[in-house]
Amino acid sequence: MDWMTDSEEDERFEWDTSDEEEEMSKGNNQEGSSAPPISVSVPSQEFVEAGSSRSSLLLHFVGMGFSEDTVAKAIKDNGEGQPEVILETLLTYAAIEKSSLNSEQSPLDCSLEGEEDVLEDDDSDMSNFEDEGCTEKSSDKDMKLSMLVEMGFPLDEASSAIDRCGSTASVLELADSIHAAQLAAESVDIEGRNTSAPVVPRSSFINGSSIKKKRNLLENQRLNRPVHGHKIKKLCSRQSEVNDEGFSSLLKIPMPMIGFSVPNQKTQLAHRKLPEAAIGPPYFYYENVALTPKGVWDTMSRFLYDIEPEFVDSKYFCAANRKRGYIHNLPIQNRFPLLPLQPRTIKEALPMTEKWWPAWDPRTQLNCLQTSISSAKNTERIRSTLVKSGDPPPERVRQYVINECKKWNLVWVGLHKVAPLEPDEIEMLLGFPKNHTRGGGISRTDRYKSLGNSFQVDTVAYHLSVLKNMFPNGINVLSLFSGIGGAEVALHRLGIHLKNVVSVELSEINRNIIRAWWEQTDQTGNLIELPDVQQLNGDKLAQMINSFGGFDLVIGGSPCNNLAGSNRLSRIGLEGKQSSLFYDYFRILDLVKNIMGKNI
């Protein structure tokens, strides 16, 4: 990234985080605005080939715990340009391997070794298939039938799902289609309270124990026992509707973004039932930008146990917009905000600006706080334009100035003078203590970058507030992609004692900020620092879990570089180099749940 300074060109910029384009689109992109409209980005084949190689892909998935041979086969079958498809294939392989270990060989059980010799004919007679059993020449349809039946689905429903979705649909998509068909035949509450049909989240197919849970759920259905359920996403029609903002119709971004609740807003009392696989321990909390390419939140939701995201704009907590989505299994009742409440207008938060604020600038709140700022050339250009234009300036000049102020979050500091926010002002707006990112050899540019990629503390603390009464003696936290410690600051401000915090953060600058805050606030717990989520494996997690008894909370937000709307160069979703680290969040969370489950 090219970081802007006062001496550099002001026309070249790239933001790491952004949801400003939605605000700009509300103004119909008036003339003079350079904010890009929301769009769906599809990676070009050239970009994918240039940005990844077979060796790097192989190493990435091997680092996630898959065997080298299996990864190589998945890459060969799917090509190098489809990391998400490769991952789903690997998860399917894992389900097959676990199934074969946990159950006796059945007439419909197929081995992985025969997959390379799959026949093209999908119209084979089922009676002949059952008689012949598993052979190395089983068709692709037969192999998928075998996997679905082994997962516990009836043979006729599995076959119908393949007919509906086509022979190219993945096993996971077929499983979701079967669930959808089951729900269509039963009475299902549209809000997600399923009265009869069992639902297993897509991510639960990873291990054998989850397949056993699926069988138990099917048994419950046959015995008419109540089970947990939730809304099914019909994945066989993924290419269907796309709304006006370019987002998948499977997960619509609500307006206004108030989630299940926000302070001082009258909302209906929210209720939700979590899928069985999502219920703790531990509690987990995942955050990322709300306005992503089509289907990204749907994918993240499927991997995180099919929990529906909670979309919240931080403008309800402070004077700046920050549209984010959160997937978590925390309770949603009895939340409370940090006190004192933050001011929610610019003039209240930055009172020194009120004297100079012109009547023709209608802004009351700032846009999303970014990682870079406007240059001195740009602010001087605005000043000179206003001086030459008279008072009040003509409409075209006013619109130009307002557009620049919105884009760069400029505030009025004098007659005809605008300026970017100072780092300490951004710290205040984001809920961090004053000078949180100052000192210790940290440059001004680094402060902007670190703050722009952080949590808005008041928003996160509101969601985490339910933990205070649950953990009166303190909490053990696994903080992934810790950044400058937004989660730790939120818990501390809530009065929750931090017993053990494992902070995983790649940036040495950010690690220094967290360590300094830990010392400045006289924390009495243990801070364990690790540099890279990709190096955090099951052995290390097991050692830490055995050392202090497990994690109470797994929290973090993976990089949004390839998701943010203003990233016009590589907005390719979860296939991007940085944003694909979401899968490491899921991998680590799943490991923690499995290890802690064994220790119970």
Could you list the active site residues?
Answer: 560
The whole-angstrom separation of Cα 51 and Cα 41 is 16
What are the DSSP E strand ranges found in 350-509? 411-414, 417-419, 475-480, 498-504
Contact 337, 291 (CB under 8 A): no
Q: Which residues of 295-317 are buried (b: 16+ CB within 10 A; e: fewer)?
A: bbbbbbbbbbbbbbbbbbbbbbb
Give me the amino acid identity at 157: E
C-alpha span between 74 and 567 (Å, rounded):
30
Closest CA to 372 of 421, 405, 437: 421
What is the CB neighbour count within 10 angstroms for residue 563? 28
What is the separation of C-alpha 73 from the centre of its chain, rounded to a whole number of angstroms?
28
Residue partners of 93: CB distance under 8 A and separation at least 6:
66, 70, 74, 112
Amino acid identity of 516?
A: A
C-alpha–C-alpha distance, residues 536 and 552, integer Å? 18
Taken in order 188, 200, 145, 150, the sign of the CA dihedral is negative
* Helix (H) and strand (E) counts in the chain: 21, 9
Rounded to the nearest 10 degrees, how much is the dihedral formed by the CA atoms of 499, 500, 501, 502? -170
Q: Tell me how far apart the alpha carbons of residues 448 and 209 are, in angstroms, rounded to a whole number.
A: 45
**8 Å CB contact between 433 and 489:** yes
Cα dist from 550 to 280, 328, 525, 533, 538, whole Å: 12, 18, 15, 18, 13
Whether 170 and 88 have beta carbons less than 8 Å apart is answered as yes
* 67-80 as b/e: b if 16+ CB within 10 A: eeebbbbbbeebeb
Which among 494, 489, 449 is positioned nearest to 471, based on CA atoms? 494
The answer to whether 554 and 588 are in contact (CB under 8 A) is: yes
